[in-house]
Structure 1
Amino acid sequence: MSHDIKDQVIAAIKKSGHFSLQLDESTDVSDDAQLMTYVRYQGPEDMEEEFLFCRPLQTRTTGKNLFMKVVPSFKEEGLLWRQCYSVCCDGAPVMLGARQGFIARVKQENPSVVVVHCLLHQNTLNYSWVRNPLHIEAEDLPDEIANISKLQEELIEIQNDATSHYDFKRLKESLSSFWIKVHKEKPNLGGEALKTLIPFATTFLCEAGFSALTVIKTKYRNHLQPEDDLRCILSTKSPRFEELTKTIQCQESH
């Protein structure tokens, strides 16, 4: 079941084209270091957040060791660093060290990756147009946005479109849903907005994952490799039981 859930998540990531990564490390009941990772990507109607993997760190925790734990997983699933739009982690030196930290190694693979390690580090002023696009002057869009004239044109168009006003009111609880819908008709404006919405804001999901790990891996089950169990518990996706049953071969009686 875990493998089927993972296959669904990987397929969804690849269909989205870009994803954000959230990761953190902690020790379990056996005092083994574990690396927890989540992904966030654009789904059909909203942003989706899913457990990716939890792997033990056999050696001491360094930026290099963390990176070398992620690399094989990416290669195994066919994920590319250039598709990774942002990385969210804590502020520990092992993550943010200028030369040897995990992020420094990620930037060698993808120099444009956005790094988020605290919600307060996000430039909320530049993102105000994403939160309230119907009541902002087109001239107030951030100057650093590429193709600014085209975005201003598309912004004015949705501001004068009754359906967009209705959708914004209806989907206001989920800005991602609104902008995914906009993206289908206004790819430049919608795409730029979705860039600001795809990063994780905190490492909360990893912290929740470690809480689940303490329940699964106890002193009585201290040799457990928890990834498959965690995926079944933490994923929002369900196994495709009909597909799974088709793969089970009927055994002949003897």
Structure 2
Amino acid sequence: MSGKEAQEQISKVPLSNNTISRRISEMSTDINEEVVKQIKSERKFALQVDESTDIAEKCQLVGFCKFIDKDIVEQFMFCKELQTTTTGEDILASVNSYLTQHGLSWNYCCGICTDGAPSMKENPYIITTHCFLHREALVAKRCEEELTEVLNQAVKMGRLEGIVTSVNKMKGFQRKLKSWKSAVQKDDVSNFPSLQQPGYKEKLDWIVSPFELADMAEELDFTAIESDEFLDMSADSTLKVKFEKSDVTLAAFWHGTLGEYPNLAKKAISLLLPFSTSYLCEQAFSAMATIKSKQRNRLLSLEDDIRVALSTIRPDIKSLCSKHQSQVSH
């Protein structure tokens, strides 16, 4: 549709001062309800929160969640203005308010990634992470130019990183440092492969290589039930073939074992979900700078606009339209 016909149709759309704002709010509510519904369905989730100051010098707290719906899903949760101070207690109160309002429990939160704010541990089993990007930024301030470039490359990988993959890479790098130190002490400055301790396996290796560590089940951090399930699964040749030949992600693989090995799968998922960086919050702050600009610095609430802009869930437009009666302009 174009030209005069389109102009006539558009002219029929009511556009009062608050029409656009109300429509955005309705879409935002619809998206948020779907996100909450999905989290409640899958139960386990992880959080990523960070705060930043907008152009009106108001502190905005942004939160994202991660859960598994067949595979990893990351979604915007909220953007709340911190009215007074920005202490860990203030951040916790704001996050807790959102969770309580939507019937979400800390008991199902398996991880939270922040910029290092304290007092966030409502559940003793929550994995708390100080954002790797913030750590790298702090280190970069004191680094030489060559090392800063290395850190910049690491930052670019932030979106693809999770707790498990980051831990594996950090462990590998630590071993390289030991190798380099030993080589230098022997006046050998050539590159050496990572040192490997025979028979040594990291506590998280079972998630990445679940069929190779059966003989070391007793050394892994398992309960008796988890250990039994791990031994049963490691002997499951059909599942092993599927694991080795399938192109599914680790999260999708473990989600698929919930029915047969529920305790082990839940443990794996709880370790795969936590964020290692707050990259999503950084993206939200970029969107916030665009939405709340100098020309729109009196915008009272950012949450609805940011949710509609960033969420990968599309609002149910047909359902929303059915709730409104069409009114022809006069």
Q: State the TM-score, normalizing by the size of structure 2.
A: 0.66
**Deviation for aligned residue 1:2:** 0.8
Aligned length: 238
What SS is found at the alignment partner of 1:134? coil
Q: Which amino acid aligns with 1:134?
A: F
Provide the C-alpha distance between the structure 1 equivalents of 2:92 and 2:218, rounded to a whole number of angstroms: 36
Cα distance change of structure 1 residues 84 and 180 upon mapping to structure 2, 3 Å threshold: same
Asked if 1:83 corresponds to 2:161, the answer is: no
Deviation readout 1:220-252 (Å, 9 max, x if unpaired): 101222111111111111111222223224569
Which of 241, 255, 266 lines up with 1:165 in the alignment?
A: 241
- Which sections of structure 1, spanning at least 5 residues, go unmatched? 97-101
**Distance in 2 separating the partners of 1:235 and 1:154:** 40
2:47, 2:109 within 8 Å by CA — same for their partners in 1? yes
Partner of 1:226: 302
Q: Secondary structure, in 3 states, of the residue corresponding to 2:259?
A: helix
Shift of 1:39: 0.7
Shift of 1:191: 1.8
1:178 aligns with 2:253: yes
Query: Secondary structure of the equivalent of 1:26?
Result: strand
Matching residue's letter, 1:41: F
Query: Partners in 2 of 1:194 and 1:7 — Cα distance?
Result: 23
Name the residue aligned to 1:99. Answer: none
Among candidates 211, 218, 239, match of residue 134 of structure 1: 211
For normalisation by structure 1, the TM-score amounts to: 0.84
Equivalent residue for 2:36, pick from 3, 7, 10: 10
Paired with 1:215 and 1:253, the residues of 2 have a C-alpha distance of 32
Contact 1:168–1:178, Cα closer than 8 Å, also in 2: no
Alignment partners' CA distance in 1, 2:296 and 2:99: 28
Pairing 1:136-215 to 2, within 5 Å after superposition: 136-140=213-217, 142-147=219-224, 148-158=226-236, 160-161=237-238, 163-172=239-248, 174-215=249-290
CA deviations 1:54-86 (Å, max 9, x no partner) are 111111211222122222212211111212111
2 CA distance for matches of 1:141 and 1:2?
49
Identity, in percent, stands at: 34
Larger Rg: 2
Contact 1:171/1:178 (<8 A) preserved: no
Q: Which has the larger displacement, 191-200 or 144-153?
A: 144-153
142 and 114 in structure 1: CA distance in 2 versus 1, 3 angstrom threshold:
farther
Give the Å deviation of 1:37.
0.3
Tell me the amino acid that sits aligned with residue 89 of structure 2: K
Aligned CA RMSD, in angstroms, stands at 2.4
Residue 144 of structure 1: how far off its partner (Å)? 2.4
Instruction: Give, in whole Å, the separation in 2 of the partners of 1:142 and 1:37.
Output: 37
Aligned CA distance change for structure 1 residues 228 and 192 (closer, same or farther; 3 Å): same
Query: 1:65 corresponds to which residue?
Result: 90
* Structure 1 position 31, deviation (Å): 1.4
Q: Which amino acid aligns with 2:129?
A: V
Partner of 1:36: helix, strand, or coil?
Answer: strand
Separation of aligned partners in 2, 1:250 and 1:244: 12
